[in-house]
Amino acid sequence: MGRWEPNAYERLQEAALELFGERGYERTTVEEIAARAGLTERTFFRYFTDKREVLFGGSKDLAEVIVAAIGGAPKELGPLDTVAVALEATSPIFEARRAHARKRQAVVASHAELRERELIKLSSLGDAIAESLRRRGVAKVAASLVAEAGIAVFKSAFERWVSDTKKHELAHHVRETLADLRVAAAEGTAVAAVRTAPRPSRSARRTST
């Protein structure tokens, strides 16, 4: 038996989520979170740079799983399908914690400060995806674009999953959302064929890879 209770990090995360649920994000202090975890405010800030960050510990794992899945995806897939497959690969991470994810989502949605943090996490996830695609030979502009589209799909799919009473897996919603996106894109007017388009910029005319 160690000198201290183990898993301080997880205890803090749990205590925080509980308290945010009970009293709301604003009305719970870091000191209270630490106390419920049997620790000190100072220790909280050793594990998390921020009060907000305690809700975003998982985003690193998420990015890793997605990047790995992109790297291991079959070469025949187009970029968007590659990203979709990678997003589906995160399904197991969430499937075990549906209730937890729902609570977390409610808290994040309820406070602008937390939505900001979520957005920047998704943004850097997008950067990571774009980078992975480029490593597979996708041109820079296309990689960024597809990555952004992938993020959009993920956001939407995740929302559907969280509020899905039928308990479909996240992967299911990713596929559905992607299909929706393709319908919207194929409706012709959305991402239209080159119509009155001016010449693309020089950077886009460079050969890819």
Partner DNA sequence: CTCCTGATGTCAGAACCTGACATCACGGGT
Partner DNA sequence: ACCCGTGATGTCAGGTTCTGACATCAGGAG
Residues that bind DNA (CB under 7 A): 1-4, 8, 28-31, 34, 38-43, 45-47, 49-52
C-alpha closest to that of 51 among 32, 76, 70: 32
Residue whose structure tokens are 């990678």: 86
Task: Give me the least distance between CB of 48 and a second copy, in Å please.
Answer: 15
Residue 109 interacts with which of a second copy, DNA, none, CB < 5 to 8 Å by class: none
List alpha helices for 24-78, DSSP H.
30-36, 41-47, 59-72
Cβ 25 vs Cβ 114: under 8 Å? yes
The listed partner (a second copy, DNA, none) that binds 79, CB under 5 to 8 Å by sort, is a second copy
Nearest residue (CB) to a second copy, 35 versus 185: 185
What is the CA angle 203-205-209, rounded to 5?
Answer: 80
Helix (H, G, I), strand (E, B) or coil at 178: helix
The answer to whether 128 touches 59, Cβ cutoff 8 Å, is no
99 vs 193, beta carbon nearer a second copy: 193
Binding residues for a second copy, rule: CB under 8 A, are 78-81, 112, 115-117, 119-120, 123, 139, 141-142, 144-146, 148-149, 152, 156, 160, 175-201, 203-204
160: left (phi over 0), alpha (psi -120 to 50) or beta: alpha
Contact 38, 11 (CB under 8 A): yes
68 binding partner (options DNA, a second copy, none; Cβ < 5 to 8 Å by kind): none
185 makes contact, choosing from DNA, a second copy, none, with CB < 5 to 8 Å by partner type, with: a second copy
Which CB atom, from 29 or from 123, has the smaller least distance to a second copy? 123
By beta-carbon proximity to DNA, the closer residue of 7 and 208 is 7
